[in-house]
Amino acid sequence: MEPFKKFFLAVRFIGLRQVLRTVAYTGTLARLETRFPTASQTPAAKIFKPEALISAAPAPRGAAFKFKHGIELQVEFLGNTAVRLTWKPGELPVPYAVVEDGWEDVPMEVDEGEDGWRVSSEGVTLLVGGNGRLRYFKGEELFREEAPPSYQAPIWRQSAALDEHAHLYGLGERSRFNLRGGRYRLWNTDPDGSYGHGEDPLYMSIPAYTCLQPGGGYLIFYENSFDGEIGFEDQAEAVFLGGALRYVVFAEGPPEALHDYTRLTGRAPLPPRWVLGFHQSRWSYETEAEVREVAEGFKRHDLPLAAIHLDIDYMRGYRVFSVDKTRFPDLKGLTTDLEAGGIKTVTILDPGVKWDPGYDVFREGRDQGVFCQLPDGKTLRGLVWPGWAVYPDFTHPAARRWWGGYYRRLVSEGVAGFWHDMNEPAAFTAGGADTVPRATVHEMDGRKGIHEEGHNLYGLLMNRAGFEALRELQPEKRPWLLTRSGWAGVQRYAWKWSGDVESSWEALRMTVGTLLSTGVSGIPYSGSDIGGFSGSPSEELFVRWFQMAAFTPFFRNHAAKGTARSEPWVFGEPALSICREFLRLRRRLLPYLYTLGWEASQTGAPLMRPVWWRQPEERVLWDIEDAFLLGDALLVAPVVERGATERRVRLPTGRWYSFWDDEVVEGGRESAADTPLERIPVFVRAGSVIPMAPDIHGEGPKLHIYPPAGEGSGSSAMYCDAGEGYGDMRVDRFEVGWEGGELVVKRESEGEYGGTDDYGVVVHGVVAGKGVVDGKGIETRGGEMRTGPFTELRIATDD
Residues annotated as catalytic are: 421, 424, 500
Nearest CB to ligand MIG, comparing residues 425 and 760: 425
Residue 556 carries which side chain, given as an amino acid letter? R
Q: How far is the CB of 306 from ligand MIG (least distance, A)?
A: 18
Task: Centre a 10 Å sphere on the Cβ of residue 776 and count the other Cβ atoms it contains.
Answer: 10
> At closest approach, how far in Å is the CB of 428 from ligand MIG?
8
Q: In angstroms, what is the minimal distance from the CB of 469 to ligand MIG?
A: 21
Amino acid type, 490 = V
Binding of residue 349 to ligand MIG (CB under 6 A): no
Q: In degrees, to the nearest 5, what angle opens at C-alpha 415 toward C-alphas 754 and 492? A: 65
Q: Which residues of 202-227 are buried (b: 16+ CB within 10 A; e: fewer)?
A: bbbbbbbbbbbbeebbbbbbbbbbbb
* Residue 282 vs 492, nearer CB to ligand MIG: 282
Minimum distance, C-beta of residue 384 to ligand MIG, in the bound complex (Å): 8
Is the C-alpha dihedral spanning 32, 34, 37, 40 positive or negative?
positive
**Rg of the chain, C-alpha, whole Å:** 27
537: contact with ligand MIG by CB under 6 A: no
- φ, ψ of residue 34 in degrees (nearest 5): -75, -40
- Per CB under 6 A, the list member of 312, 627, 682, 720 interacting with ligand MIG is 312
SS3 content of the chain, % helix, strand, coil (to 5): 25, 30, 45
Selected from 252, 260, 311, 424, the binder of ligand MIG by CB under 6 A is 311
Q: Are strands 634-636 and 628-630 parallel, antiparallel or unpaired?
A: antiparallel
Residues 346 and 311: their CA atoms lie apart, in Å, by: 9
Q: Between residues 211 and 436, which has the closer beta carbon with respect to ligand MIG? A: 436
Tell which residue, 52, 88, 46, has the closest CA to residue 67.
Answer: 52
Least distance CB 510 / ligand MIG (angstroms): 16
- Rounded CA-CA distance 409/68 in Å is 57
| Nearest distance in Å: CB 490, ligand MIG | 16
Shortest reach from residue 421's CB to ligand MIG, in Å: 5
Strand order, beta sheet including 167-172:
53-59, 62-67, 72-79, 82-88, 245-250, 218-222, 205-212, 167-172
Buried b (16+ CB within 10 A) or exposed e, 230-248: bbbeeebbbbbbbbbbbbb
Contact partners, residue 556, CB within 8 Å, separation at least 6: 278, 279, 280, 281, 309, 497, 527, 529, 530, 549
**Shorter beta-carbon distance to ligand MIG: residue 260 or 350:** 350
Q: Which of 252, 421, 599, 632 binds ligand MIG (CB under 6 A)?
A: 421
Among 132, 499, 606, 687, binds ligand MIG (CB under 6 A): 499
Q: Which residue is nearest to ligand MIG (CB)?
A: 283
Q: Number of residues in contact with ligand MIG, rule: CB under 6 A?
A: 10
What x-and-dash track marks residues 581-600 binding ligand MIG by CB under 6 A? --------------------
Amino acid (one-letter) located at 581 = E
In our burial notation (b when 16+ CB lie closer than 10 A, e otherwise), range 312-334 reads bbbbbebbbbbbbeebbeebeeb
ω before 201 within 30° of 0 (cis)? yes
Contacts to ligand MIG from residues 268-307, by CB under 6 A: 283
Residue 284: CB minimum distance to ligand MIG, A: 7
- Closer Cβ to ligand MIG, 309 or 344, answer by number: 309
CA 784 to chain centre: 37
With beta carbons less than 8 A apart as the criterion, state whether 568 and 301 touch: yes
Minimum distance between the CB of residue 21 and ligand MIG, rounded to whole angstroms?
14
Beta strand pairing status for 353-354 and 387-390?
A: antiparallel
The nearer residue to ligand MIG, 242 or 499, going by C-beta atoms, is: 499
| Per-residue contact flags (x/-) with ligand MIG for residues 226 to 265, judged by CB under 6 A | ----------------------------------------
Q: Considering the complex, what minimum distance in angstroms separates the CB of residue 230 from ligand MIG?
A: 25
H or E element at residue 160: strand 155-161
Strand partners, 450: 441
Nearer to ligand MIG, 194 or 210 (CB): 194
Q: What is the DSSP string of 410-463?
A: HHTTT--EEEE-STTT----SSS--SS-TT-EE-GGGT-EEHHHHGGGHHHHHH
Residue closer to ligand MIG by CB (options 284, 395) is 284
Tally the C-alpha atoms within 13 A of residue 200's C-alpha that lie toward its C-beta. Answer: 22
Q: Which of 145, 146, 252, 500 binds ligand MIG (CB under 6 A)?
A: 500
Q: Is the Cβ of residue 71 or residue 348 nearer to ligand MIG in the bound state?
A: 348
Q: Could you tell me the smallest distance in angstroms from the CB atom of residue 484 to ligand MIG? A: 6
CA distances from 219 to 52, 351, 686 (A): 28, 33, 29
Cβ proximity to ligand MIG: between 481 and 651 the closer is 481
Q: Does 348 bind ligand MIG (CB under 6 A)?
A: yes
The residue (of 344 and 558) whose beta carbon lies closer to ligand MIG is: 558
Question: In whole angstroms, how close is the CB of 699 to ligand MIG at the nearest point?
Answer: 38
Q: Is 278 helix (H, G, I), strand (E, B) or coil?
A: strand
Site string for ligand MIG, 544-583 (x = CB under 6 A): --------------x-------------------------
HSE-up of residue 84 (Cα within 13 Å, Cβ side): 22
Identify residue 535 by its one-letter amino acid code: G
Q: Closer CB to ligand MIG, residue 86 or residue 280?
A: 280
CB 229 within 8 A of CB 183: yes
Interface contacts to ligand MIG, rule CB under 6 A? 283, 311-312, 348, 421-422, 484, 499-500, 558
